[in-house]
Amino acid sequence: FEGNWKMNHGPSEARAFMRAFLERYAARRDRTVVLFPPALALAAVRDELETAGRDDVLLGVQNVHSAPKGPFCGEISAPMARDAGASWCLVGHSERRHVFGESDAETAEKVKIALASGLVPVLCVGEKLEERERGETESVVLRQLEAGVSAVESAAVGGIVVAYEPVWAIGTGKTATPDDAAAVHRVIRRDLAARIGARAAEVPILYGGSVNRANAAALLGAENVDGLLVGGASLDPEEWAAICAT
């Protein structure tokens, strides 16, 4: 279960959220829970987890630069994120692609630097509504997936996580049906198998797009859906605790 706060919850709000969430969600070892707070709130979340003695909740960053350091005002590097306590990072989220113009080539470099820095990259792929209506879902998803892993050796592909997030279902209240999700996840799994063989079965493929406590169980029950990437519903500690307990 991965919660992406996007540009929400500064340090003070993050501390209050974590206290409320940890009261509602007991540690479980049968699942992985990762939070992606804004960079400025990362330390606050980390400190609350340390104070509570909770190593079952992991931390990630929402974006990294493709260079390890340099004159890039406003950016954070993968080594910095690792040093600050993150162990995961999102790469190629739809908003990075479609709001900030991030290219497939940039995404590939970010996957590469994340792996080299000891971060687990969550490579996000997904089609826009007009692409889906044109019947281009599979070609768009495979293009983004293939580009995202193009800068790393095939042996390293097993160290990534893939998140299918149809752009038309993000923050819109529309959700892909479990069958919709399973169909695209099957395509992703098949492509991974062609690259790395049997190890493809070990690569988690997550679904993201208007996930909430009401639809979480049905989505998780779909074939090849190994977890959920949650946006807005992860901002409420009670809602997020309920999803993580699904």
Which positions are annotated as active-site residues? 93, 165
Contact 195, 225 (CB under 8 A): no
Cα–Cα distance for residue pair 222/132, rounded to 1 Å: 20
Both tokens of 47, joined, read 């400190």
Q: Which amino acid is at 138?
A: E
Contact 227, 1 (CB under 8 A): yes
